[in-house]
Structure 1
Amino acid sequence: MKEEMMVGLSAPGPVGRWGAAPPQAMLERMKDYGQEGAFALWDDLSPEDRELLVRDIESLDLSRIDRIIRRSLGSQGIPLPAVEPVPESSVSKVEDRSAEDKERWWKKGLKAISEGKLAVVLLAGGQGTRLGSSDPKGCFNIGLPSGKSLFQLQAERILCVQKLAAQSSESPSNTVPIHWYIMTSPFTDAATAKFFETRRYFGLDPDQVTFFQQGTLPCVSADGRFIMETAYRVAKAPDGNGGVYAALKSKKLMEDMAARGVKYVDCYGVDNALVRVADPTFLGYFIDMGASSAAKVVRKAYPQENVGVFVQRGRGGPLSVVEYSEMDSAMATEMNQSTGRLRYCWSNICLHMFTLDFLNQVANSLEKDSVYHLAEKKIPSIHGFTTGLKLEQFIFDAFTYSPSTALFEVMREEEFAPVKNASGATYDTPDSAKLMLLRLHSRWVVAAGGFLTHSVPLYMTGVEVSPLSSYAGENLEAICRGRTFHAPSEISF
C-alpha cells in the first residue's frame, strides 16, 4: 500500500472519527485517479458506514488498479495480432503415439512424482450458480452411484497416483505426497475449507493441501469509474482464473513449492469430471519435450462449439488462445483442404503443465503488462443492477510468454467431461458428465475381462470405478476378470 494512502489511517480509532468530511489525504488520492465519486454519498452515511467506506478504500492498491484500468480500457478496439493455425507437427496426436512412447512417459512421470517434483494447482474459485447451487462448484455431486463430489473424485485420483508412484520407485513403502494448492475466491474460501475438513480431506494428509484466495478487482463503468455496490462499499469481482499467477506470487506459494523440491506444476479447472489430476503420462511427455508450458487439447467437435482454440501468433510466433467469442464465422469454419478438418481445431480445455521457473516468469510478466480482459456484466449497485465491466485475466494468458509450448491431444470421451450447465441444458451438464464417466469406466471393466448386466439400456448407464482402485483403467484384471457387475453401481476394492 502506498505510504501516502495510509496517512492518518494506519492506527485504528473510534467509530465515526472522520467527522463531516472524508479523510483529506485519501480524498486527494482518489481525486488523482478520478475515483472521488466513491465518496459521493458521504454526507448521507452513518458514522459506522463512513468507517466501513474508509476501510474499503484503504484496502485497495489504487496505483495498481488505476494502471490495470487504464491499460485494459486502452486496449479496446486494438485489432488482435494476425494468427495462424497451429502446425500439425506441433501437436502430439493420439494416433501418432506408440505403446512404447506411452509406457516411457508413464514411467518417467511416476519417477518424477515419487521424487516430489510435481505439485498440483486447482482453480476452484467459482460457485455452482449455473448448476443451481450457491456452494463451491467442487462440492457438486453429479449423480454418480457413489455420490462423490468433484472434489472427492480429484482427491482420490491424487491418492491413487501417489500409490502408483511409490510402487514404481525403489522404496515402495515410502509414499511422497503430491502437494495440492487449491485456489478459492472470497465467495468460496470458507465453504471449501469446511467441506474438506468435515470430510477428513478425503483421505489426504491435511498438511498436503493449501488453500489460497484469488484476488478481486473493482467493477467499473465504461469510462473506468468504480461502481459502488453500496454507499460504503466498492463493487468487486474475482480477477479471473488467470489471477492464479498473482495470487501464487503474493502468497509466496512459488517459494513454498521450491522449498518442497517442486519442478513441475499441473494446473487445471475444477469442473471436469474426467480430469486426470497429476497425470504421469502428461508429465512424462512434458519432461521429454523440455518445454516451459504444455496443454492438453481435444479436437473441436463442430465449428460453433463454445471453446477457445490454440493459435500461433504470426508465422513462427508463440502459441496462444483465441476465445470463441473472438472468432468470426469464417475463422471458425475454415477447413484444411488436405485433412478435411477444421484449420483452427485444437480446443483449450484448461489442463495445463508448467515448469516452476516459467510460473515465476509469468507472475512477473503478467503483473507488469497488466492488460485484463473486459467482461460486460450486470453489476449489483446502489442503483440496482447496472451494466459495467469486470476485469479478468485468464489462465491461458500465460502461453504468450512461453518460449516453448507443447500441445498434447487427448480423447474427449476419456478426459473431458465439463460440468457447466444445470441438468436439462443441451450440453455440459451433470447428467452428460456422469454418463461419460460411467461409459468410460464400463469400457475399462470389459477390457479387464468383466461383464455387465443392466436393467436399462447400457448407453444410458454404466458402472463407476473408484479412483482408489484404478487411475486410468490399469490394475483391474484381478478385480474384474470373470466377474459380472450390475449397472449402475460403484466398483471399489
Structure 2
Amino acid sequence: MPSNISIEGSKILRVPKTMDVEALKQRLNGAGQGHLLQFWDSLSSEEQTAFFNELSHMNFEEINGFFETAMQSLKHVADKIDDLLEPLPADVCGSVTRTDHQKQQEYTATGLQAIGSSSVAVLLLAGGQGTRLGVGYPKGMYNVDLPSAKTLYQLQAERILKVQENAKEHTGKSCEVPWYIMTSEHTKEPTRQFFASHNYFGLKESNVVLFEQNLLPCIGFDGKIFLANPHKVALAPDGNGGLYRALRSSIVLADMERRGIQYVHVYCVDNILVKMADPLFLGFCINKGANCGAKVVEKGFPTEAVGVVCKVEGKYQVVEYSEITLPTAEKRNSDGRLTFNAGNICNHFFTMDFLKMVSDPSQESQLKHHVAKKKIPHVNAAGEQMKPNEPNGIKMEKFVFDVFHFTTTFAVWEVLREEEFSPLKNADGAAKDTPTTCRSDLYNLHRSWLQRAGATFTHNDGSPIPPIASSNSSNAGAGDSQRTCEEFNEIVCEVSPLVSYGGEGLDTIVHGKSFLPPVCMERDGAGKVKVTNGTS
C-alpha cells in the first residue's frame, strides 16, 4: 500500500506526505475560511498534524456552495406548496388491510423466495446518539425494560435470524441476509464493541458490516465555519440521506455486488416493531416492478406531525407537515380518508440498480440539503468556549427519502401502525415515543398474536381478560377500543423474535390455552420454545 494511503474503518483516506501549511492557508483564504487557522501557532505538533489532515480532506468550495443554497432555502422555509401537491396514484399503492389473504400470501412467497436466494440485504440507519433519550451511547444499544432485557439491536438481529429460517423453510435453501449498519463518527466504535461483546447475537460476524456516514461543518449565519476547539472543526452528521455518499465512499456497494444482492431494505434503528427484510413488503414491491418503495402508516389526524408521501410536480416526495396549510391537510376523499394520508415511517425498499444509480455523484449531488437553525457550541476569536442561548448558525443534512424523486416505478405499502411502527425518540416523561410507549406497543402486538392463535388471558382470580380489539375488526367501536386498551395496559406479553417473526407458528403452541400475565415466550439453545407466565 502506498505511503500516502490509510484505511479508517471502511473508508480509504489519502494522507498528505508533508504538511504544506502555506498552501492550505491560501486555499482557506480563497474560500473565505482563513480564520480556521487562527490558533495554528499555539497548537502542539500532534494537534497541528491532526488538524492539517482534517482540513486537507475538506472541499471548501463545495461546502460554501452548500451554505449558499441552504441560506436561499431558509428564505422560503415558510412557503407552502399546496398547489403543487398530488395524491399518490392508486396503482402504486397497496394496503395490508385492503389486500385479501391469498394475495398477501403470494407477495410473502415472492419475498421469501428472494430472501431464500440470498439476494436481500437490510441496511440500518444508526447514527443517532440517543441524546433525547438522555443516554450517552448509540440508540440501538437501548433496552426499554422488556422482561428479556433485549436491546433494539438484539431484537433486530433475532428478527433477521428468524426471517432467514422462514425463508429456508419456504425454499429449502440455506440463505443469508447481510446487515449493513451506517453509524456516525460517535457511534461506530461503541456499536462495533457492543456487537463483538455479544457475539453478534448469533449472526455471522462477516454478515454484520459497519460503515460510517460523513460529517459536514457547522456554519454561522455569516458563512464562517465554526471551530469546536482551536484544533478541530465543529462537525455534524450529514443526515440519514448521507447514506448515498457514504455508500460511494465505502466498500458497501462493492460488497453488496459481490454477494449478489438485488434488493435492499432500509430502515431506522429506533422503531421497536420494525420487520427487517419483511417478505410481504419485499414481495409487494417486486410484484409491482418497483425500483423504490416506501412503507407508510395512515395519518392519525390531519395535523399529525409526520411527513406525507405524495407527488410534487409529478415527482414522488415526502412533504413535511409544516409545508402545507391546514385546509390541504384536512382534505378528504369520498370514502372519508384523508387525501394526503400516507405517513412516512422511514422504511424503504430499493433495488440494487436504483441504489447504485442514486449513489452516483451525478445524482447524489442533486439532493438538496435540509437546513436547521441551531445553537452551536464553538470557540470564539479569543479561544473561549461559547455555548449560545439562541441559534447562531446552521446544520445541513439530507434525508434518505430525498431520492424518491428519481424513481418512475414506485410502490407504497400501507401497514397498521400498531403492528409495525413505534419509534423511540424521547425519555420517559414526554408525551409520546418513549421507552414506556414502545414497551406497551410491543406487549399489545404480541398479545394480539397470541389472541389470534387461540390463546386467552386471565386475571389473578382466574376471570378472563377481554380480548384486545383489532384495527381490522369492523365491529370494534370507539368505546370498545378505549376499554380494551385500558384492560391490556395491565398485561405483559413478550414473544421472542426467534419464536415468531410476525405472529406465525404460534397456534400449535398456545391454541386453547390460558395464560396469567406476565407471559414470556423464548427459544432455548436446543430450539425448543419455553413459555413462562404468572409466577412460573
Structure 1 length normalisation: TM-score?
0.91
Query: Is 1:320 equivalent to 2:326 in the alignment?
Result: no
Are 1:343 and 2:311 counterparts?
no
Residues of 2 paired with 1:95 and 1:443: CA distance? 16
Report matched runs for 1:29-428 at 5 Å.
29-78=27-76, 82-171=84-173, 175-314=174-313, 317-332=314-329, 334-364=330-360, 365-369=362-366, 371-383=368-380, 384-386=386-388, 387-428=392-433
Q: Which amino acid aligns with 2:167?
A: A
Contact 1:435/1:460 (CA < 8 Å) preserved in 2?
no
- C-alpha deviation, 1:43, in angstroms: 4.5
**Worse-matched range after superposition: 178-187 or 460-469:** 460-469
Moved more, 262-271 or 368-377: 368-377
Cα distance per residue 1:421-461 (max 9 Å; x no partner): 11111111111111111111111112212222345943332
Whether the aligned pair in 1 keeps the contact of 2:367 and 2:402 (CA below 8 Å) is no
Report the alpha carbon displacement of residue 80 of structure 1 after superposing the two structures with TM: 6.9
Is the CA contact 1:438–1:464 (under 8 Å) kept in the aligned structure 2?
A: yes
Alignment equivalent of 1:433, drawn from 435, 438, 461: 438
The runs of 5 or more residues in structure 2 that have no matched partner are: 5-14, 381-385, 466-486, 523-528, 530-536
Say which SS state the counterpart of residue 369 (structure 1) adopts. coil
Q: Which residue identity lines up with residue 483 of structure 1 in the other structure?
A: K
Instruction: Name the residue aligned to 1:476.
Output: 506
| Residues 223 and 369 of structure 1: CA distance in aligned 2, closer, same or farther (over 3 Å) | farther
Alpha-carbon distance, 1:367 to partner: 2.9
| 8 Å Cα contact 1:71-1:370 kept in structure 2 | no
Bigger shift: residues 278-287 or 249-258 = 249-258
Structure 2 counterpart SS, 1:211: strand
**Contact 1:373–1:392 (Cα < 8 Å) also in 2:** yes
Distance 2:33 2:300 in 1: 46
| Mapped contact 2:164–2:176 kept (Cα < 8 A) | yes
- Residue deviations 1:278-330 (CA, integer Å, cap 9, x gap): 1001111111000110001111112222211112112xx12100122333333
TM-aligned CA deviation for residue 370 of structure 1: 5.0
Q: Indicate which of 481, 490, 499 corresponds to 1:460.
A: 490
Q: Which amino acid aligns with 2:500?
A: S
Aligned partners of 2:215 and 2:236 also within 8 Å: yes
Contact 1:124–1:184 (8 Å) recurs in 2 = yes
1:6 aligns to what?
A: none
SS across alignment from 2:257 = helix
C-alpha separation in 1, matches of 2:105 and 2:516: 32
- Measured in 2, the distance between the counterparts of 1:397 and 1:221 equals 25
The CA distance in 1 between the partners of 2:248 and 2:505, in whole Å, is 40
2:430 aligned partner, one-letter code: A
Structure 1 residue 402, shift from structure 2 partner: 1.0
State the secondary structure of the residue aligned to 1:335: coil
Residues 204-227 of structure 1: CA deviation (Å, up to 9, x unaligned)? 111111000111011111232211
Instruction: Give the counterpart letter for 2:346 in structure 1.
Output: C
> Which has the larger displacement, 87-96 or 381-390?
87-96
Structure 1 residue 123: deviation in Å?
Answer: 0.4
Task: Say whether the 8 Å CA contact 1:75–1:371 is kept in structure 2.
Answer: no
Q: Distance in 2 between matches of 1:454 and 1:184?
A: 44
Q: Secondary structure at the match of 1:281?
A: helix
Q: Which runs of 5 or more residues in structure 1 are unaligned?
A: 4-8
Count residues with an aligned counterpart.
Answer: 472
Pairwise CA distance, 1:255: 1.9
**8 Å Cα contact 1:33/1:66 also seen in 2:** yes
- Secondary structure of 1:259's match? helix
Q: Contact 2:316–2:404 at 8 Å: present in 1 too?
A: yes
Conservation of the 8 A alpha-carbon contact between 2:367 and 2:403: no
Using the aligned pairs only, state the percent identity. 41
CA drift of 1:331 comes to: 3.1
**Match of 2:68, as an amino acid?**
R
Deviates more, 1:322-331 or 1:288-297: 322-331
* Paired letter, 1:480: V
What's the offset of the Cα at 1:366?
Answer: 4.3
For residues 94-144 of structure 1, what are the alpha-carbon distances to aligned partners after superposition, in whole Å with 9 as ceiling and x for unaligned? 332011110001111101101011010000110111112111000111121
CA drift at 1:47: 4.6
Moved >6 Å (runs of 4+): none
Q: Is the 8 A contact 1:114 1:169 kept in 2?
A: yes
Identify which of 6, 10, 29 aligns with 2:16: 10
Counterpart of 2:470 in structure 1 is none
Aligned with residue 454 of structure 2, among 427, 449, 452? 449
CA distance in 2, matches of 1:367, 1:87: 26
What is the distance in 2 between the residues matched to 1:104 and 1:447? 21
Q: Letter of the aligned partner of 2:212 in structure 1?
A: Q
Q: Compared with structure 1, are the counterparts of its residues 299 and 215 closer, same or farther at alpha carbon in structure 2 (3 Å cutoff)?
A: same
Question: 1:80 and 1:37 mapped to 2: Cα distance?
Answer: 38
Structure 1 pair 47–422 and aligned structure 2 pair: CA distance change class (3 A): same
Question: Does the Cα contact within 8 Å between 2:16 and 2:53 map onto a contact in 1?
Answer: no
CA distance in 2, matches of 1:192, 1:223: 36
State the shift of 1:93 in Å: 2.5
